[in-house]
Structure 1
Protein backbone atom coordinates (compact mmCIF):
# COMPACT_ATOMS: atom_id res chain seq x y z
CA UNK A 1 0.00 0.00 0.00
CA UNK A 2 1.28 3.47 -0.86
CA UNK A 3 2.11 5.85 1.94
CA UNK A 4 -0.01 8.99 2.13
CA UNK A 5 1.38 11.99 0.30
CA UNK A 6 2.89 14.89 2.18
CA UNK A 7 0.29 17.43 3.25
CA UNK A 8 -0.67 19.64 0.33
CA UNK A 9 0.30 23.25 0.82
CA UNK A 10 -2.37 25.86 0.46
CA UNK A 11 -3.10 27.98 -1.37
CA UNK A 12 -2.27 26.30 -4.66
CA UNK A 13 -1.97 27.99 -8.01
CA UNK A 14 -4.19 26.46 -10.67
CA UNK A 15 -1.12 24.89 -12.29
CA UNK A 16 -0.10 23.41 -8.93
CA UNK A 17 -3.64 22.12 -8.46
CA UNK A 18 -3.51 20.40 -11.85
CA UNK A 19 -0.14 18.83 -11.01
CA UNK A 20 -1.33 17.74 -7.56
CA UNK A 21 -4.47 16.09 -8.95
CA UNK A 22 -2.37 14.37 -11.63
CA UNK A 23 0.00 12.99 -8.96
CA UNK A 24 -2.96 11.84 -6.86
CA UNK A 25 -4.57 10.05 -9.80
CA UNK A 26 -1.31 8.31 -10.70
CA UNK A 27 -0.60 7.37 -7.07
CA UNK A 28 -4.02 6.42 -5.71
CA UNK A 29 -6.41 6.39 -8.65
CA UNK A 30 -4.31 4.10 -10.89
CA UNK A 31 -5.33 6.03 -14.04
CA UNK A 32 -7.83 8.59 -15.23
CA UNK A 33 -11.33 7.41 -16.03
CA UNK A 34 -12.29 7.98 -19.65
CA UNK A 35 -13.43 11.47 -20.61
CA UNK A 36 -17.01 10.22 -20.98
CA UNK A 37 -16.93 8.55 -17.56
CA UNK A 38 -15.51 11.72 -16.01
CA UNK A 39 -18.27 13.75 -17.66
CA UNK A 40 -20.82 11.44 -16.02
CA UNK A 41 -18.99 11.73 -12.68
CA UNK A 42 -19.00 15.52 -13.07
CA UNK A 43 -22.77 15.48 -13.58
CA UNK A 44 -23.17 13.33 -10.45
CA UNK A 45 -21.06 15.73 -8.41
CA UNK A 46 -22.91 18.79 -9.75
CA UNK A 47 -26.16 17.05 -8.80
CA UNK A 48 -24.93 16.54 -5.24
CA UNK A 49 -23.92 20.21 -5.10
CA UNK A 50 -27.30 21.29 -6.47
CA UNK A 51 -29.14 19.16 -3.90
CA UNK A 52 -27.16 20.69 -1.05
CA UNK A 53 -27.65 24.26 -2.28
CA UNK A 54 -31.36 23.78 -2.94
CA UNK A 55 -31.87 22.47 0.58
CA UNK A 56 -29.56 24.93 2.32
CA UNK A 57 -30.35 28.15 0.44
CA UNK A 58 -33.54 27.29 -1.44
CA UNK A 59 -37.00 26.15 -0.50
CA UNK A 60 -36.23 22.42 -0.39
CA UNK A 61 -35.83 20.68 2.95
CA UNK A 62 -33.63 17.75 3.90
CA UNK A 63 -35.36 14.37 3.96
CA UNK A 64 -35.48 12.35 7.17
CA UNK A 65 -32.06 11.99 8.71
CA UNK A 66 -30.27 13.61 5.76
CA UNK A 67 -28.44 16.59 7.15
CA UNK A 68 -26.38 19.28 5.53
CA UNK A 69 -22.99 18.27 4.27
CA UNK A 70 -19.97 20.44 3.69
CA UNK A 71 -20.53 22.90 0.83
CA UNK A 72 -16.77 23.35 0.43
CA UNK A 73 -16.31 19.60 0.06
CA UNK A 74 -19.03 19.40 -2.60
CA UNK A 75 -17.48 22.31 -4.52
CA UNK A 76 -14.08 20.62 -4.23
CA UNK A 77 -15.54 17.39 -5.66
CA UNK A 78 -16.77 19.31 -8.72
CA UNK A 79 -13.43 21.10 -9.08
CA UNK A 80 -11.49 17.83 -8.75
CA UNK A 81 -13.37 16.23 -11.64
CA UNK A 82 -13.06 19.38 -13.76
CA UNK A 83 -9.30 19.33 -13.16
CA UNK A 84 -9.20 15.64 -14.13
CA UNK A 85 -10.96 16.41 -17.41
CA UNK A 86 -8.59 19.33 -18.07
CA UNK A 87 -5.54 17.18 -17.32
CA UNK A 88 -6.56 14.30 -19.53
CA UNK A 89 -7.48 16.57 -22.45
CA UNK A 90 -4.37 18.74 -22.20
CA UNK A 91 -6.09 21.95 -21.10
CA UNK A 92 -4.00 24.35 -19.01
CA UNK A 93 -6.66 25.86 -16.76
CA UNK A 94 -4.61 28.94 -15.83
CA UNK A 95 -4.32 29.85 -19.50
CA UNK A 96 -7.95 28.93 -20.20
CA UNK A 97 -9.40 31.01 -17.34
CA UNK A 98 -7.20 33.96 -18.23
CA UNK A 99 -8.39 33.88 -21.84
CA UNK A 100 -11.98 33.35 -20.70
CA UNK A 101 -11.89 36.37 -18.38
CA UNK A 102 -10.44 38.51 -21.18
CA UNK A 103 -13.28 37.38 -23.45
CA UNK A 104 -15.92 38.10 -20.80
CA UNK A 105 -14.39 41.51 -20.02
CA UNK A 106 -14.39 42.56 -23.68
CA UNK A 107 -17.93 41.28 -24.22
CA UNK A 108 -19.59 42.18 -20.93
CA UNK A 109 -17.72 45.20 -19.54
CA UNK A 110 -20.92 47.29 -19.60
CA UNK A 111 -23.61 44.64 -20.02
CA UNK A 112 -24.25 43.92 -16.35
CA UNK A 113 -23.93 47.55 -15.27
CA UNK A 114 -26.63 48.43 -17.80
CA UNK A 115 -28.97 45.62 -16.80
CA UNK A 116 -31.94 47.17 -14.97
CA UNK A 117 -32.67 43.80 -13.33
CA UNK A 118 -29.38 44.06 -11.42
CA UNK A 119 -29.97 47.56 -10.05
CA UNK A 120 -30.37 47.74 -6.27
Structure 2
Protein backbone atom coordinates (compact mmCIF):
# COMPACT_ATOMS: atom_id res chain seq x y z
CA UNK A 1 0.00 0.00 0.00
CA UNK A 2 1.36 3.42 -0.93
CA UNK A 3 1.04 6.43 1.33
CA UNK A 4 -1.61 7.86 -0.99
CA UNK A 5 -3.53 4.58 -0.88
CA UNK A 6 -3.29 4.64 2.92
CA UNK A 7 -4.66 8.18 3.04
CA UNK A 8 -7.53 7.10 0.78
CA UNK A 9 -8.20 3.94 2.82
CA UNK A 10 -8.42 5.94 6.05
CA UNK A 11 -10.69 8.51 4.40
CA UNK A 12 -12.95 5.76 3.04
CA UNK A 13 -13.10 4.11 6.48
CA UNK A 14 -14.06 7.39 8.13
CA UNK A 15 -16.77 7.99 5.52
CA UNK A 16 -18.09 4.41 5.78
CA UNK A 17 -17.81 3.56 9.47
CA UNK A 18 -17.12 6.81 11.27
CA UNK A 19 -19.52 9.67 11.72
CA UNK A 20 -16.88 12.22 10.69
CA UNK A 21 -13.28 13.07 11.44
CA UNK A 22 -12.64 14.30 14.96
CA UNK A 23 -11.57 17.94 14.99
CA UNK A 24 -7.96 18.63 14.09
CA UNK A 25 -7.17 19.60 17.66
CA UNK A 26 -8.76 16.41 19.01
CA UNK A 27 -6.79 14.34 16.51
CA UNK A 28 -3.60 16.14 17.52
CA UNK A 29 -4.31 15.12 21.12
CA UNK A 30 -5.02 11.56 19.92
CA UNK A 31 -1.72 11.54 18.02
CA UNK A 32 0.10 12.62 21.17
CA UNK A 33 -1.62 9.84 23.10
CA UNK A 34 -0.70 7.22 20.49
CA UNK A 35 2.93 8.38 20.41
CA UNK A 36 2.95 8.00 24.20
CA UNK A 37 1.71 4.42 23.88
CA UNK A 38 4.44 3.72 21.33
CA UNK A 39 7.00 5.29 23.66
CA UNK A 40 5.84 3.06 26.50
CA UNK A 41 6.40 -0.09 24.42
CA UNK A 42 9.79 1.17 23.24
CA UNK A 43 10.89 2.05 26.78
CA UNK A 44 9.90 -1.36 28.06
CA UNK A 45 11.27 -3.31 25.11
CA UNK A 46 14.53 -1.46 24.49
CA UNK A 47 14.92 0.67 27.61
CA UNK A 48 15.16 -0.02 31.31
CA UNK A 49 11.49 -0.33 32.23
CA UNK A 50 9.77 -3.66 32.85
CA UNK A 51 6.41 -4.70 31.44
CA UNK A 52 3.47 -4.90 33.81
CA UNK A 53 2.05 -8.33 34.58
CA UNK A 54 -0.23 -9.42 31.75
CA UNK A 55 0.87 -6.61 29.45
CA UNK A 56 1.16 -7.79 25.85
CA UNK A 57 3.16 -5.26 23.85
CA UNK A 58 2.69 -4.98 20.12
CA UNK A 59 5.17 -2.53 18.64
CA UNK A 60 3.72 -2.75 15.13
CA UNK A 61 0.19 -2.09 16.35
CA UNK A 62 1.31 1.01 18.23
CA UNK A 63 3.18 2.29 15.16
CA UNK A 64 0.10 1.66 13.01
CA UNK A 65 -2.06 3.59 15.49
CA UNK A 66 0.32 6.57 15.22
CA UNK A 67 0.21 6.33 11.42
CA UNK A 68 -3.61 6.12 11.41
CA UNK A 69 -4.03 9.39 13.29
CA UNK A 70 -1.29 11.07 11.24
CA UNK A 71 -3.12 10.02 8.07
CA UNK A 72 -6.35 11.46 9.51
CA UNK A 73 -4.64 14.78 10.20
CA UNK A 74 -3.13 14.85 6.72
CA UNK A 75 -6.53 14.20 5.15
CA UNK A 76 -8.20 16.86 7.27
CA UNK A 77 -5.63 19.52 6.48
CA UNK A 78 -5.17 18.70 2.79
CA UNK A 79 -1.60 17.48 3.13
CA UNK A 80 -0.31 15.06 0.48
CA UNK A 81 2.02 12.98 2.64
CA UNK A 82 3.67 11.35 -0.39
CA UNK A 83 4.75 14.73 -1.75
CA UNK A 84 5.75 16.05 1.67
CA UNK A 85 7.80 12.95 2.50
CA UNK A 86 9.61 13.22 -0.83
CA UNK A 87 10.41 16.88 -0.09
CA UNK A 88 11.64 15.93 3.38
CA UNK A 89 13.92 13.22 1.98
CA UNK A 90 15.35 15.67 -0.57
CA UNK A 91 15.89 18.32 2.13
CA UNK A 92 17.68 15.88 4.42
CA UNK A 93 19.77 14.55 1.54
CA UNK A 94 21.01 18.03 0.63
CA UNK A 95 21.48 19.17 4.22
CA UNK A 96 22.92 16.01 5.73
CA UNK A 97 24.80 14.37 2.86
CA UNK A 98 28.06 14.30 4.88
CA UNK A 99 26.82 15.42 8.28
CA UNK A 100 26.98 12.08 10.08
CA UNK A 101 29.85 10.36 8.28
CA UNK A 102 32.50 11.47 10.78
CA UNK A 103 30.39 11.16 13.91
CA UNK A 104 32.41 8.88 16.21
CA UNK A 105 29.25 7.88 18.08
CA UNK A 106 27.88 6.34 14.90
CA UNK A 107 31.10 4.71 13.73
CA UNK A 108 31.69 2.35 16.63
Structure 1 residue aligned with 2:58: 70
Q: How many residues align?
A: 108
Distance 1:104 1:66 in 2: 41
Q: Distance in 1 between matches of 2:24 and 2:43?
A: 28
Secondary structure at the counterpart of residue 100 of structure 2:
coil
Instruction: Report the Cα offset of residue 74 of structure 1.
Output: 0.5
Distance 2:2 2:51 in 1: 35
2:38 matched residue in structure 1 = 49
Q: CA deviation at 1:66?
A: 3.6
Give CA deviations for 1:56-111 in whole Å, capped at 9, x if unaligned. Answer: 11110012x24232111100000000000000000000000000000000000100
CA RMSD of aligned residues (A): 0.9
Structure 2 gap segments, 5+ residues each: none
Out of 96, 101, 104, the residue aligned to residue 113 of structure 1 is 101
Between 1 and 2, higher relative CO (CA 8 Å, sep ≥ 6) is seen in 2
Runs of 4+ in structure 1 displaced over 3 angstroms?
Answer: none
Normalised by the length of structure 1, the TM-score is: 0.86
> Deviation at 1:30?
1.3
Q: Which of the numbers 3, 20, 30 marks the counterpart of 1:14?
A: 3
Instruction: Indicate the structure with greater helix content.
Output: 2
Instruction: Report the TM-score when normalising by structure 2.
Output: 0.96
